[in-house]
Homo-oligomer: A and B are copies of this chain.
Amino acid sequence: MICPRHLRVFISVVICILISTTSGRSIYNDYMQQRKQLIQDDSKLRIGGKLVLRSDEKLVSDFFMKEKTKIIESSRQNLTLYMPAVSFFLSKPQIDNSTLLKLIQRMPKGGALHLHDMSVTSLDWLIKNATYRDNVYMCVGDDSLINFHVFKSPPKHSDCVWHSVKDERAKAASVDDFDLMLKRNLSLLATDPLTTYPDNAHIWIRFARYFLQVYNLIFYAPIFKDYYWRTLEEFRADNVQYIELRGAMSGVFDLDHTVHNEEFGVQLYQNVTTEFVQAYPDFVGAKVIMSGSRNSKAVKILDQVKTAMYLNQKYPDFMMGYDLVGNEAAYNPLLFYINELLYPATQSPPYKLPYFFHAGETNWEGTDIDDNLADAILLNATRIGHGYALNKHPKLAQLVRAKNIPVEVNPISNQVLHLVSDQRNHPMASLMADNFPIVISSDDCATWEALPLSHDFYVAFMDMSGEDADLTFLKQLAINSIRYSAMSHSEKHKAMKLWETKWDMFIKGVIEEYMPSYHLK
């Protein structure tokens, strides 16, 4: 029995416990509320974080997320190697086998804005179609790499002994083996540059060699035209609606040794594009960006800048500007050509030649080449190619955001070229978490046997965004690719309409195929 005095003590103890429990619960509740808000605020900042999905999109998003979570959690919890983030040379078969890749392939992805014209049509087509033609010759260099060339007849005196590809193929025990040998000889994938070459500098040498291997095959006028047509076909098949292609524009040649100038190249690209869009009205189109090489002499760059001005003025809806390409670490920084690149601004009246500079595709922070990012911004670049080093430059990053300069990110290219190993460390993951103006592209996808755009989208989705980033992330990337393209306002409007129609079909199609019971309701 509790006497009155003890009762008082007992009651005060109970009250005290109650107060403390209540206060504990309220502290806990407040905490959980704040926590939810903070995590939400953080993830809303990411690319797509502010998009709101319709209920049918949400269904598809949940299906994407089921696949994404399955892959991530099975690796995280079972301690198995997380394949989506490791070398593309190891992960490709597993990625190719996934439902998620199929979904991403099926998704309309908008535009691919950072591509190089000699390295975007599949090697399969190059071998199985281009090298089957008349007048195609091959020779094996001292480095065991094959050079292709189209000749009426090969030169009699040459360090490299030329053989007709047709003859060699006819002599081969197996045509399939012969063609596979040719493909392996071109492909970076076959040699696994992530283990074969120790660093960025060495894989660049091999990579640059590819262009010498194929240049005199691809640039033969009839092949060039078909090669480009095939580029468009393959991107369309990968559900890309629009591309922007960098290339020298000059160098297309005929069998009689005629070498055509830049305008010829631009016209050819434009004509093929027009034909293609007529044949496939669900494809938006293409534009080109003339590009020089950062190891050229200054006087050559000046000529190119002048040509680019002329072509941009004459084909303002198609030849959109100028870029400098090649290994930034090994070649000249933009500053080396500053007088030439300022040339359009010194004209009277000043000419605004749009620049689309590769800049900051490097791990060499604080070196001359790292300053390319500053020059790209100061030269009013319309977009920046790669910008891999941007997150190490807070002031430049701030300007890129303020000026809304889109950055063209090419995840697999950066991994193949040894800038990053585990894709989850890709520096753009941080800028994508902060809604930077970013588009995903595929650079030289054919060289490492990647799909036109889907593999790069896959890597962005699985490695460069959080486990909780859903379809809004991918949808925003597709929207960005149209918004940040070089299309005019009205072209963008039209492209967006076309993309939206495709998007709705995609949502409908995925629901029909994967959620038939829901569909039947």
CB-based closest 4 A-B pairs: A366-B466, A42-B395, A366-B467, A421-B421
User: Are B422 and A365 in touch, CB under 8 angstroms?
Assistant: no
Find chain B residues with CB under 8 A from A425 CB: 363, 419-421, 425, 427
Find chain B residues with CB under 8 A from A217 CB: none
Find chain B residues with CB under 8 A from A41 CB: 395
Bound-complex Cα distance A23 to B346 (A): 7
User: Are B38 and A377 in touch, CB under 8 angstroms?
Assistant: yes
A391 interface residue (CB < 8 Å to B): yes
Residue in B35, B79, B394 whose CB lies within 8 Å of A434 = B394
Which B residue sits closest to A34, measured CB to CB? B378
Give A415-436 interface residues, CB cut-off 8 Å to B. Answer: 419-422, 424-425, 427, 429-430, 433-434
Give A72-92 interface residues, CB cut-off 8 Å to B. Answer: 72-73, 76, 79, 81-82, 85
User: Are B421 and A422 in touch, CB under 8 angstroms?
Assistant: yes
Q: Contacts A421-B421, A425-B420 given; indicate if A374 touches B42 (C-beta within 8 A).
A: yes
Which B residue sits closest to A39, measured CB to CB? B374
Which B residue sits closest to A202, measured CB to CB? B79
Find chain B residues with CB under 8 A from A31 CB: 338, 342, 378
Q: How many copies of the chain does the oligomer comprise? A: 2
User: Are A433 and B394 in touch, CB under 8 angstroms?
Assistant: yes
User: Are B395 and A346 in touch, CB under 8 angstroms?
Assistant: no
Give A387-443 interface residues, CB cut-off 8 Å to B. Answer: 391-396, 399, 419-422, 424-425, 427, 429-430, 433-434
Find chain B residues with CB under 8 A from A43 CB: 366
A316 interface residue (CB < 8 Å to B): no
Bound-complex Cα distance A73 to B329 (A): 11
Count how many chain A residues have C-beta atoms less than 8 Å from C-beta atoms of the other chain. Answer: 71
Bound-complex Cα distance A468 to B393 (A): 13
Chain A interface SS verdict (over half): helix
User: Are B342 and A35 in touch, CB under 8 angstroms?
Assistant: no
Bound-complex Cα distance A32 to B335 (A): 10
Give A13-53 interface residues, CB cut-off 8 Å to B. Answer: 19-20, 23-24, 27-28, 31-32, 34-35, 38-39, 41-43, 45
A517 interface residue (CB < 8 Å to B): no
User: Are A23 and B363 in touch, CB under 8 angstroms?
Assistant: no
A348 interface residue (CB < 8 Å to B): yes
Known A-B contacts: A427-B430, A430-B430. Give 20 more (CB < 8 A).
A23-B346, A24-B339, A28-B339, A35-B375, A35-B378, A41-B395, A42-B374, A45-B394, A81-B199, A82-B199, A365-B429, A365-B433, A366-B465, A366-B467, A367-B467, A391-B433, A392-B429, A392-B430, A394-B430, A421-B425
Q: Contacts A82-B199, A433-B392 given; indicate if A28 touches B342 (C-beta within 8 A).
A: yes
Give A460-498 interface residues, CB cut-off 8 Å to B. Answer: 465-469
Q: Contacts A31-B342, A342-B27 given; indicate if A433 touches B393 (C-beta within 8 A).
A: yes
User: Are A24 and B366 in touch, CB under 8 angstroms?
Assistant: no
